Amino acid sequence: MKKYNFYAGPSILPQFTIEETIKGLKNFAGTGLSIAEVSHRSKEFDAVIEDAKSLFKELLKIPEGYSVLFLGGGASMQFAMVPYNLMNKKAVYVNTGTWSKKAIKEAKIFGEVVEVVADDFFSLPKNIEVPSDADYIHITTNNTIYGTEYKDDFDFDIPLVADMSSNIFSRPIDVSKYDIIYGGAQKNLAPSGVAFVIIKDEILGKVNREIPTMLKYETHINKNSMFNTPPVLPIFAAYQTLRWIKNLGGLEALQKMNEEKAKLLYDEIDRNPFFEGTVAKEDRSLMNICFVMTEEYKKLEQEFLKYATERGMVGIKGHRSVGGFRASTYNALPKEAVEELIQTMQDFEAEHLAD
């Protein structure tokens, strides 16, 4: 039976990425060695880092004055690195879900946090006012657990930091509006184990504290992400995904594909009497589509999960804190997978209405 991977993360990778990474595991760049055993100081791996950075800048149209880093520790490490490097006294955090809350917890170690709180995490605050004396504002652009997403770039008068773990490369963005963009790679880019950071160089060097070497952004900028041994294999896989994105036609092409997939599934959720969406329609994520059984059919939730699993749908169970279902429709998920899930929902409806 064919499997359709809707896991929220680690999640589906392009087949191109998997195949090219397998080649590299067997014989990297003609060295006769595996990418998993080659020196990160070798000229062959240095070329991977440079080419990956170049593709980051090309695909996202990153302007001059920004650095691209590949670091260990995941996005969770960035929750601490951002305030360590940027916060003198105060920062604003837009609290829109679980990952925002984790970032806020870390930031409170370093100074005062002004929280802009979403009422219920099922809709997003829009008209955000920020104090002019704040060092920066932090947002999470896509919320994997609740299924909300900011789809436009903000304009703020203070530095803007964004966690884009789960929607990076899903649409064009205006990087010039951001001072730091970071995220774990295990949604739209690579296997878990590496985080990316896009950072405006001039934002650094303005805090009054001493920063440990490994937690200081300048350390990694000056050493080209190789102050210590980097996560070599995930970086290599990320490079393959970036090549795949470029071959597809870039972010404009991916945005069109993602909008089409999401519309198909949201239309079915809205039509089917057995299901309903969970978030405000204007805030619906293109990457993580969350839905539940309607009240009338709530008792059939476990039955549908079993039914869908038997049809090859993998990873559609909602997060334990929310329940219901979640279909993660990341870049690499083919339209066919969404169509199969929709057919499964329709068949389930037909069988039960016929009873």
Whether pLDDT at 225 is above 80: yes
In angstroms, rounded to a whole number, what is the distance separating the alpha carbons of residues 34 and 42?
A: 13
The number of angstroms, rounded, from the C-alpha of 61 to the middle of its chain's C-alpha atoms is 18
* CA atoms within 13 Å, Cβ hemisphere of 307: 18
- The catalytic residue among 187, 200, 216, 317 is 187
The structural domains of the chain, with segments of one domain joined by +, span 4-10+250-353, 15-248
At residue 250, does pLDDT exceed 80? yes
Q: What is the rounded end-to-end Cα distance, in angstroms, of the chain?
A: 27
Give the pLDDT mean for 210-220: 98
Cα distance between residue 350 and residue 259, in whole Å: 27
Kindly state the average pLDDT of the residues 121-132. Answer: 92
Helical (H) or strand (E) element with 162: strand 160-163
For domain 15-248, give the fold: Aspartate Aminotransferase; domain 2 (3.40.640)
157 noted as active-site residue: no
- Residue 120 reports pLDDT greater than 90: no
The answer on pLDDT for 117 being more than 90 is: no
pLDDT at position 355, please? 66
pLDDT tens for each residue of 286-295:
999 999 999 9
Question: Has residue 324 got a pLDDT over 90?
Answer: yes
pLDDT tens per residue, range 291-323 = 999 999 999 999 999 999 999 999 999 998 889
Mean pLDDT of 45-54: 98
Q: Name the catalytic one among 53, 135, 151, 163.
A: 163
Task: State the pLDDT at residue 321.
Answer: 84
For the record, the structure tokens of 118 come out as 């979403």
Q: Which residues contact 88 (CB under 8 A, 6 or more apart)?
A: 111, 135, 206, 207, 208
CATH class of 4-10+250-353: alpha beta
Mean pLDDT within 124-131: 91
pLDDT of residue 6 exceeding 70: yes
**Mean pLDDT across 184-197:** 97
Partner residues linked to 117 by β-bridges: 95
Write down the pLDDT at residue 301: 96
The pLDDT value recorded for residue 311 is: 97
The yes-or-no answer on residue 120 being catalytic is no
Is residue 244 part of the annotated active site? The answer reads no
| Mean pLDDT of all residues belonging to the chain | 97
Say if CB 38 and CB 161 are below 8 A apart. Answer: no
Q: With bands split at pLDDT 50, 70 and 90, how would you rate the model's confidence at 1?
A: confident
pLDDT tens, position by position, 83-100: 999 999 999 999 999 999
Do 15-248 and 4-10+250-353 have the same topology in CATH? no
Cα–Cα distance for residue pair 268/311, rounded to 1 Å: 18
Mean pLDDT of 343-352: 97
pLDDT band at 131 (very low <50, low <70, confident <90, very high): very high
- Catalytic residue of the set 99, 179, 200, 317: 99
Say yes or no to pLDDT of 161 above 80.
Answer: yes
Q: Which of 72, 81, 207 is nearest to 138 (CA)?
A: 81
